[in-house]
Amino acid sequence: MRTLKRIKSQDKAVQSAALFSSSRRVRFIAVACAVVFLLVFCQLNSSVLWLQGISISLHQESTGLKGRSYTKTAEAIDNLLGGLLSPNFDEQSCQSRYQSSAYRKPSPHKPSSYLLSRLRNYEELHKRCGPKSPLYQKSIHQLKSGHSMGLMECNYLVWSPFNGLGNRMMTIASAFVYALLTNRVLLLHITEDMLDLFCEPFPDSTWVLPSDFPVKDLEKLNLGSEQTYGNYLKNKKIKTDVKVMAESLPPYVYLHLEHDYQHLDRLFFCDNDQQVLAKVNWLLIKSDIYFVPGLFFLSLFEDELKWMFPERETVFHHLSRYLFHPTNSVWGMITRYYISYMAKADEKMGIQIRTFSWMPISIENFANQILACSWQENLLPSINQNMTQAGTNGGRTKAVLITSLNSEYCEKMKSMYYEHTTSTGEIISFSQPSHEETQHTEKQTHNQKALAEMFLLSYCDVLVTSGWSTFGYVAQGIASLKPWILLSSKDQKAPNPPCRRAMSMEPCFHAPPSYDCKANKNVDFGAILRHVKHCEDVGNGIKLYD
């Protein structure tokens, strides 16, 4: 009996030992698995980073970004531009959206968190109210009713093109700011000359106005159209009464904000008028001026603008990078040219040349003005008249991109630097993508070339631009550069000084209002300058100044 008890006791001890050993084995296996998992995870993570580095390196090699030109590490390339861009796009459908940042230095200007929040909210609004949505169809029904309606969930701002591509891009950006401020959905009337230029900027929707839009011949609206806000006021079909009911207002109002707009149309920049316009469901707009600075005059918008853009001069810079992404066909033009003529240079300089019939100057005089500016500001080295004298800078290279309708400027400067050495020993090359001779905004291919050249200019380290030219404004804004502006000619002679450094990268507001809404009277131009500053390139334009 005692023997049996001893055996049972030994069996229990063995079972306990076995259980204890099994428990230890389970814990050991669990710990070992955890360690292996962590090791594998860390290895995979480092492999992903390594693969990202390889991918970026291959992209730089394929685009010519590696080598002597400016290059970026995996950490430095911010393809979402600090959160400005949504990641919810297929990269291959619009390669420029996420690749363009690799071609220029990082912007020193970061978008505010409030702007990022507003953009994400707008994208949701655009998706909910955009074309083909039930709410859009409901708003079209309202448009056909013959009057506006209160409590509509979606209100719209319809943009129509006017003038050159630079004007169009500035006014699209201006219209988008206004849409943000008034919670409207921005739709673009895309004509044939604007096809295949820009990718869609808003995910899961389109900003293209459907072709069956009830209001026809949008491009024919002008200063004399009866639907302008000014003419509605003149004919007493709209009264500036903030208590007015939406149902008493027309189904849409045309905002004529072109350079020739008159006093009643300029009341757009008054608070009371904005409170009335807020009750109109559909606003149609056509403009050729960058009117964002005028929106800062409105106390209704002042705080919102300050929150979105703490740095006032970054409005166009941020929104141009958000809105304008060249389609793959245009992006191909840009990258092919960049790789061939710009990528391997130590420094890149852009010279944007534009002349106007109302400020004539000969090619010879303007070329001399450009050279005088470039030498005076040490943007280009001077040449040695003694052709046998050698340089001393070890062959440092500078690629000069010239954009002009005329090829003579490029040929003149190219010959000069080909035939002579430079005082610094630098090797200077000149190139020009196109020379169309005359502007053909009505041609799609012309606009594609113009867009490509604006972006190529934006990849330069320094810019020289022509006064009054919106082409240059777009390039400097995208690039976040303050260019040297070639001053306008008087009596067909080059001015002295030949150029002046811009105080801002913002486009110029060429036709500002001169009416004090609160005082109900016109003011002299000097009074406006308490809030804004002169454009560097014009005598009667203004920009914001903080």
What is the structure's pLDDT at 65? 56
What φ, ψ does residue 299 adopt, rounded to 5°?
A: -65, -25
Report residue 387's pLDDT band, with 50, 70 and 90 as the boundaries. Answer: low
Task: Region of 359 please: left (phi>0), alpha (psi -120 to 50) or beta.
Answer: beta
What is the structure's pLDDT at 51? 33
Report residue 374's pLDDT band, with 50, 70 and 90 as the boundaries. Answer: very high
Q: Which residues contact 110 (CB under 8 A, 6 or more apart)?
A: 82
| Sequence-ordered strand ranges (E) for 411-513 | 427-431, 462-466, 484-486, 499-501
pLDDT at 62 over 80: no
Two tokens at 390? 């050698």
What is the structure's pLDDT at 27? 55
What is the structure's pLDDT at 25? 53
- Taking the CA atoms of residue 115, residue 118, residue 119 and residue 121 in that order, the dihedral angle to the nearest 10 degrees is 160
Q: Which amino acid makes up residue 164?
A: G
Q: Are 484 and 465 in contact (CB under 8 A)?
A: yes
pLDDT at 17 over 60: no
Residues in the chain: 546
Q: Which residues contact 495 (CB under 8 A, 6 or more apart)?
A: 369, 487, 488, 489
Q: Which amino acid makes up residue 170?
A: M
CA-nearest of 168, 101, 100 to 332 is: 100
pLDDT at 22 over 80: no
pLDDT digits (tens, 9 = 90+) for 116-148: 999 999 999 999 999 989 999 999 999 999 899
CA-nearest of 323, 299, 29 to 159 is: 323
pLDDT-above-90 percentage for the chain: 68
pLDDT digits (tens, 9 = 90+) for 175-196: 999 999 999 999 999 999 999 9
Predicted TM-score (pTM) of the model is: 0.85
What is the structure's pLDDT at 29? 53
H helices present in 145-261, as ranges? 165-182, 229-234
